[in-house]
């Protein structure tokens, strides 16, 4: 008798895999990474490379020495999640960051936020954001190297002047972290993820629009709506970091609530503090996810609200 | 009648239907084998009690095991010959009693008594007598279904055949159209004149066209999506009625029957033949020549496979039934049952069995769930042995369709977790827990 496999239903499986999803995210991030190198030069490439190496290296070393897995198994089951974390972290840092910033950030993001909590799928906040916030809180802007304007394009004359929308969209002459300045590249990556079915277009859209609206309302100035959604880390955060599967709710309603509240918070933070907003807000909302999923769970098909009973009981009591 | 816009339900998954492997091959009658192994447990409920013993001569269509209690079903011999043994054999559902009949190839047949087919009660009684059970795969005794306490106004024939690969119902609808329609009419009569609806997935336009010529059938084209033929999903798509949690279709005035069940009703009443054979699809890329076969009850799977040219070298998995909900066979050593809609032999590429990895919370399972449950949390809490917490996410409402596990990128055994959780929750409630 031939040897046959025994496994539970269903006996056919779809082609989706965690690895494939993560590779899709990497593909989607690549235009922004290339734009970062074009705008900020070889230092940007170096920062991203160190971030990648330290993130991936941390996972591999942790699994080798703490989980006692052998190298064959690690390569066979490596799902590219820490590669995504590393690249995102690199894109979140300034091109002038000292070499130890991406290194420490990667170790913290993957080692502390992800592996210590149980590895893939168990991180309670987005590792890359936690890495960025960790660096900013520990070393201030010194470690991020400040937000230097790129070498290409006319540099915005002064802080007060608002750059043109075209410059904001393409990233020419815009100061910022390596990956956040070219919105065009980020949007292209986002479109790819939507087409591949990795993310739902609704959620980043809700986040970006609500954040822009909230800020406009706060300042009572709707002319800043477009510049505000095209500047800073909003788009990078909305498309690639707030949509991290692990730290978003599992229902459509839950996600709408999540991204709308996130948008309001970001708008308010931006309006009040004028400083780092997106990463703190995402971090804050990440930890509300279990709560949202607890209270916004779908009712099974065929569920009937016990309204009549409750009403009847109430009326009975009153009578 | 006007063709309605394509109805469907919320959730579900698109699975490549793979029906082209066998949908073109006409139903072939497989000659009865030398020996048939007929199980007395081919239905939901109590096993039937053998009424023959070793050495008895039996004819085709003769009662060999009699139903035990209300939820049970008669079993008939599918060949004429001699009872060689009544013994227990191992199956993938545990040890079962089998009646082994050696075929004398004389093909002598006994028919059931004639009945008055204008009388609904007589039709229902005959359906019970003929050992007819749900031929879609569940095997629930049909007599119980067509004699409900509730008033039934809709007889819904499940012709969705949403399981990928399977084409037996499709072929029956095309080749035995008259028999099927007549069977549905008889069932409707037994139900006191319920209106007949037939739900067909739109990947079978030939069926939709052919059935539309019958004025008393309401053919409803359905969107091709798995599990379109799930009982609750089908009822919702066709009638817009929702079957409540823990309730049966009868509570909404609907009785759902499978295509071949309707045909079996025709055979039992018009031809006076009980249920001892069925059409099944032998398919998968691991089978040399996929076929739709009319198979005698109790035929060994090995002989069915040999009749289809045998397995290919890269076959790695065998399944009785459809690929989404069928039962995996550890060896191809079972025997054809009333409920076998298919015998699948899958290759590695088709089965795509991979080691499960950690859940990444992508929520694809929840989106795919036709019952609107949250499989990821049921899995999580079941593995933590917090069964009651898992129950809060709807574990008991799971219809085990497998849509969640199909889409899972981490290849987790979600169905397995939920099945285990249901078992544990039943134990808890049996012990008088919450």
For residue B227, whether the previous peptide bond is cis, meaning omega lies within 30 degrees of 0, is yes
Q: Same structural domain for residues A53 and A183?
A: yes
Whole-number average pLDDT of chain A: 87
Residue B246 contacts residue B146 (beta carbons within 8 Å)? no
- Phi, psi (rounded to 5 degrees) for B91: -130, 175
Can you give the pLDDT at residue B330? 80
Rg (CA), chain B: 21
CA distances to A42, A129, A290, A292, B86 from A286, in Å: 33, 10, 9, 10, 64
With respect to residue A42, please indicate whether it lies within any of the assigned structural domains: yes
What would the mean pLDDT of B325-334 be, rounded to a whole number? 85
Is the pLDDT score of A313 beyond 80? no
Query: What are the φ and ψ backbone dihedral angles of B84, each rounded to 5 degrees?
Result: -90, -35
Q: Are residues A60 and A188 in the same domain?
A: yes
Query: DSSP E strands: which ranges in chain A?
Result: none
Inform me whether the pLDDT recorded for B159 exceeds 70.
yes
Specify whether the backbone of A197 is left (phi greater than 0), alpha (psi in -120 to 50) or beta: left
Q: Of residues B94 and B28, which shows the higher confidence score? A: B28
Band of pLDDT at residue A308, cut at 50, 70 and 90: low
Reported pTM = 0.90
Tell me if ipTM is over 0.90: no
Range with lowest mean pLDDT among A84-98, A296-310, B268-282, B372-386: A296-310
* Cβ atoms B25, B287 nearer than 8 A: no
* Structure tokens belonging to residue A177: 């972290």
Cβ contact (<8 Å) for B408 and A16?
yes
Shortest distance, CA A15 to any CA of chain B (angstroms):
8
**B237 Cβ partners below 8 Å, 6+ apart?**
B7, B8, B9, B199, B220, B222, B223, B228
The alpha carbon of residue B360 is apart from the nearest alpha carbon of chain A, in Å, by 4
For tokens 């709560």, what's the residue?
Answer: A291
Pick from A2, A4, A11, A122 the residue to mutate for testing the B interface (most B CBs within 10 Å): A11
Mutate to test the interface with A, among B166, B362, B369 (most CBs of A within 10 A): B362
Q: Which residue of B has its CA nearest to A18?
A: B409
Instruction: Indicate yes or no: CB of A12 within 8 angstroms of CB of B364.
Output: no
Find, in chain B, the residue whose alpha carbon is nearest to that of A122.
B360
Q: Indicate whether A13 belongs to any domain.
A: no
Q: Cα separations (Å) of A217 from A206, A230, B391? A: 16, 17, 44
CB B328, CB B416: distance < 8 Å: no
Same domain, A178 and A229: no
Of A12, A20, A302, the CB nearest to B350: A12
Quote the CA–CA distance of B14 and B11 in Å, as a whole number. 10
Asked whether the beta carbons of residue A300 and residue B328 sit closer than 8 angstroms, the reply is no
B7 pLDDT more than 90? no
Closest Cα in chain A, distance from residue B316 (Å): 5
**Is residue A224 located within the same domain as residue A170?**
no
Whether residues A301 and B324 touch (CB distance < 8 A) is answered with no
- CA–CA dist A191, A198 (Å, integer): 10
Residue B404 has pLDDT above 70, yes or no: yes
Nearest-Cα distance to chain B for A12, in Å, is 5
Contact between B360 and A246 using a beta-carbon 8 Å cutoff: yes
Cross-chain residue pair B242–A10, CB shorter than 8 Å: no
How far is the CA of B33 from the CAs of A202, A319, B100, B223, B335, in angstroms?
60, 74, 12, 40, 11
pLDDT at B3: 46
In this complex, do A9 and B405 lie within 8 Å of one another by their Cβ atoms? yes
How many domains, in total, are found in chain A? 2
The mean pLDDT value for A131-148 works out to 75
B38/B334 Cα distance (integer angstroms): 10
CB A303 within 8 A of CB B245: yes
CATH, domain B113-270, list 3.40.50.150, 3.40.50.11540, 3.40.50.10490, 1.10.10.60: 3.40.50.11540
Tell me if residue B227 falls in helix, strand or coil: coil
What token pair was written down for A160? 């007060």
Nearest Cβ partner for A298 among B247, B350, B374 = B374
Handedness of CA A148, A153, A154, A156 (dihedral sign): negative
In a domain, A308, yes or no: no
**Residues in chain A within 8 Å Cβ distance of B366:** 250-251, 298
Mean model confidence pLDDT for chain B: 93
Which pLDDT value is given to residue A2? 54
Cβ-Cβ contacts under 8 Å, A16 against chain B: 364, 407-409
Query: Looking at A151-155, A177-181, B246-250, B368-372, which range is the least confident one?
Result: A151-155
**How far apart (Å, rounded) are the C-alpha atoms in residues B244 and A184?**
49
For the cut 60, the answer to whether the pLDDT of residue B316 exceeds it is: yes
Name the nearest CA neighbour of B367 among B329, B403, B343, B341: B403
Confidence at A138, pLDDT banded by 50, 70, 90: confident
For residue B433, name the pLDDT band (cuts at 50, 70, 90): low
| pLDDT tens readout for residues A267-286 | 999 999 877 889 999 999 99
* DSSP, res B249: G
Contact A2 B411 (CB under 8 A): no
The rounded Cα B214 to chain-centroid distance in angstroms is 25
Q: Which domain holds residue A231?
A: 201-298
Specify the length of chain A in residues. 319
Nearest CA in chain A to B324: A10
**CB–CB of B353 and A2 under 8 A?**
no
> pLDDT per residue over B179-225, tens digit each?
999 999 999 999 999 999 999 999 999 999 999 999 999 999 999 99
Across the interface, whether the CB atoms of B316 and A5 are under 8 A apart is answered yes
**pLDDT of amino acid B1:** 41
Instruction: Give the A-side interface with B, CB within 8 Å.
Output: 1-18, 20-21, 77, 79, 81, 118-122, 245-251, 293, 297-304
| pLDDT tens digits along A30-47 | 999 999 999 999 999 999
Task: Locate the chain B residue with the closest alpha carbon to A304.
Answer: B244
CB contact under 8 A, B324 and A9: yes
Give the Cα separation of B383 and A163 in Å (integer). 54
Tokens matching residue B221 = 């084209």
Flag if A6 and B328 touch (Cβ within 8 Å). Answer: yes
Across the interface, do B413 and A11 touch by the CB < 8 Å criterion? no
Cβ contacts of B106 within 8 Å, gap of 6 or more: B80, B81
Asked if residues B365 and B375 have their Cβ atoms less than 8 Å apart, the reply is: yes
pLDDT at B235 exceeding the cut of 80 = yes
**Cβ <8 Å between A121 and B331:** no
Chain A CB contacts of B15 under 8 Å are: 12, 14
Q: pLDDT by residue (tens digit) across A65-114?
A: 999 999 999 999 999 999 999 999 999 998 888 899 999 999 999 999 99
Two tokens, residue B108: 């002598």
Cβ–Cβ of B164/A12 closer than 8 Å?
A: yes
Q: For residues A182 and A217, state if they share a domain.
A: no
Looking at the fold, whether A34 and A175 belong to one and the same domain comes out as: yes
| Residue B44 neighbours by CB under 8 Å, 6+ apart | B71, B133, B138, B139, B140, B141
DSSP code string of B45-65? SSPPEE---TT-EE-BT-EEE
Both A66 and A182 in one domain: the answer is yes
Helix ranges restricted to H, A96-224: 100-106, 127-139, 141-144, 165-170, 183-195, 202-219
Please state, in angstroms and rounded to a whole number, the distance separating the CA atoms of residues B137 and A61: 50
Return the ∠ at Cα B58 (arms to B56 and B61), rounded to 5°.
Answer: 150
Q: Distance (Å) from the C-alpha of residue A65 to the closest C-alpha of chain B?
A: 20
A53 contacts: CB under 8 Å, gap ≥ 6: A86, A106
Q: Where are the domains of chain B?
A: 113-270, 364-430
Q: Name every chain B residue with its beta carbon within 8 A of the beta carbon of A17.
A: 354, 409-411
Contact check, Cβ <8 Å, B415/A4? no
Look at residue B4 in the predicted model and tell me its pLDDT.
Answer: 47
- A154 pLDDT tier (thresholds 50, 70, 90): very low
- Both A63 and A140 in one domain: the answer is yes
Residue B136 CA to residue B410 CA, distance in Å, equals 30
β partners of residue B13: B226
Residue pair A123/A112 in contact (Cβ under 8 Å)? The answer is: no
Phi-psi map region of B252: left, alpha, beta (phi>0 left; psi -120 to 50 alpha):
alpha
Query: In whole angstroms, what is the distance from residue B419 CA to residue A227 CA?
Result: 53
């Amino acid at each position: 008798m031939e040897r046959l496999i025994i496994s539970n239903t269903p006996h056919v499986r779809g082609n989706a895999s965690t690895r494939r999803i993560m590779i899709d995210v990497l593909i989607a991030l690549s235009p922004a990474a290339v734009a970062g190198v074009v705008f900020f030069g070889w230092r940007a490439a170096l920062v991203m490379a160190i971030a990648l190496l330290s993130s991936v290296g941390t996972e591999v070393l942790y699994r080798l020495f703490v989980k006692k897995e052998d190298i064959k198994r690690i390569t066979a089951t490596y799902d590219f999640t820490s590669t995504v974390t590393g690249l995102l972290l690199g894109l979140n840092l300034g091109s002038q960051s000292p070499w130890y910033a991406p290194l420490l950030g990667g170790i913290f993001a993957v080692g502390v936020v992800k592996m210590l909590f149980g590895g893939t799928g168990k991180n309670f906040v987005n590792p890359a954001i936690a890495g960025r916030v960790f660096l900013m809180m520990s070393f201030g802007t010194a470690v991020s190297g400040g937000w230097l304007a790129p070498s290409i394009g006319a540099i915005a004359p002064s802080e007060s002047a608002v750059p043109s929308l075209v410059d904001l969209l393409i990233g020419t002459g815009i100061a910022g972290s390596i990956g956040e300045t070219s919105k065009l590249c980020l949007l292209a990556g986002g479109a790819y993820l939507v087409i591949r079915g990795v993310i739902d277009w609704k959620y980043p859209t809700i986040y970006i629009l609500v954040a822009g609206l909230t800020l406009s309302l706060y300042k009572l100035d709707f002319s800043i709506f477009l510049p505000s959604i095209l500047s800073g880390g909003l788009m990078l955060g909305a498309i690639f970091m707030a949509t991290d599967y692990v730290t978003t709710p599992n229902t459509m309603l839950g996600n709408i609530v999540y991204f709308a509240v996130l948008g309001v918070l970001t708008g308010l933070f931006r309006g009040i503090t004028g400083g780092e907003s997106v990463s703190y807000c995402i971090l804050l909302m990440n930890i509300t996810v279990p709560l949202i999923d607890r209270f916004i769970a779908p009712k099974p098909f065929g569920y009937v609200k016990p309204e009549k009973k409750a009403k009847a009981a109430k009326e009975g009591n009153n009578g | 009648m006007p063709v309605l816009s394509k109805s469907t339900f919320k959730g579900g998954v698109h699975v490549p239907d793979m029906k082209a492997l066998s949908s073109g091959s006409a139903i072939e009658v497989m000659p009865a084998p030398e020996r048939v192994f007929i199980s007395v447990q081919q239905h939901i409920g109590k096993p039937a009690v053998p009424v023959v013993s070793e050495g008895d001569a039996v004819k085709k269509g003769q009662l060999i095991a009699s139903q035990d209690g209300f939820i049970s079903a008669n079993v008939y011999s599918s060949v004429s010959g001699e009872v060689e043994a009544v013994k227990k054999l191992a199956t993938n559902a545990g040890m079962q009693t089998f009646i082994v009949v050696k075929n004398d190839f004389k093909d002598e047949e006994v028919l059931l008594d004639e009945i008055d087919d204008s009388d609904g009660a007589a039709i229902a009684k005959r359906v019970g007598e003929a050992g007819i059970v749900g031929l879609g795969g569940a095997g629930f005794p049909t007599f119980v279904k067509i004699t409900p306490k509730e008033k039934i106004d809709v007889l819904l024939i499940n012709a969705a055949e949403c399981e990928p690969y399977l084409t037996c119902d499709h072929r029956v609808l095309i080749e035995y159209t008259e028999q099927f329609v007549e069977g549905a009419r008889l069932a409707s009569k037994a139900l006191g004149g319920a209106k007949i609806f037939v739900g067909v997935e739109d990947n079978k336009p030939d069926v939709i066209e052919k059935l539309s010529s019958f004025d008393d059938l309401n053919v409803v084209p359905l969107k091709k999506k798995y599990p379109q033929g799930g009982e609750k999903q089908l009822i919702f798509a066709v009638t817009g009625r929702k079957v409540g949690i823990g309730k049966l279709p009868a509570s909404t005035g609907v009785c759902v029957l499978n295509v071949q069940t309707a045909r079996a009703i025709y055979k039992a009443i018009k031809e006076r033949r009980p249920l001892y054979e069925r059409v099944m699809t032998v398919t998968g890329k691991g089978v040399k020549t996929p076929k739709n076969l009319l198979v005698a009850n109790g035929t060994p799977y090995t002989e069915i496979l040999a009749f289809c040219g045998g397995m290919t070298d890269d076959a790695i998995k065998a399944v009785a039934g459809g690929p989404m909900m069928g039962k995996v066979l550890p060896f191809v050593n079972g025997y054809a049952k009333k409920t076998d809609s298919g015998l699948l032999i899958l290759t590695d590429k088709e089965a795509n069995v991979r080691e499960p990895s950690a859940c990444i919370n992508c929520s694809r399972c929840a989106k795919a769930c036709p019952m609107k449950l949250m499989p990821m949390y049921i899995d999580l809490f079941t593995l933590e042995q917090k069964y009651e917490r898992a129950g809060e996410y709807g574990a008991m409402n799971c219809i085990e369709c497998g849509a969640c596990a199909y889409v899972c990128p981490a290849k987790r055994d979600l169905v397995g977790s939920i099945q285990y959780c249901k078992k544990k929750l039943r134990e808890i409630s049996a012990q008088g827990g919450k």
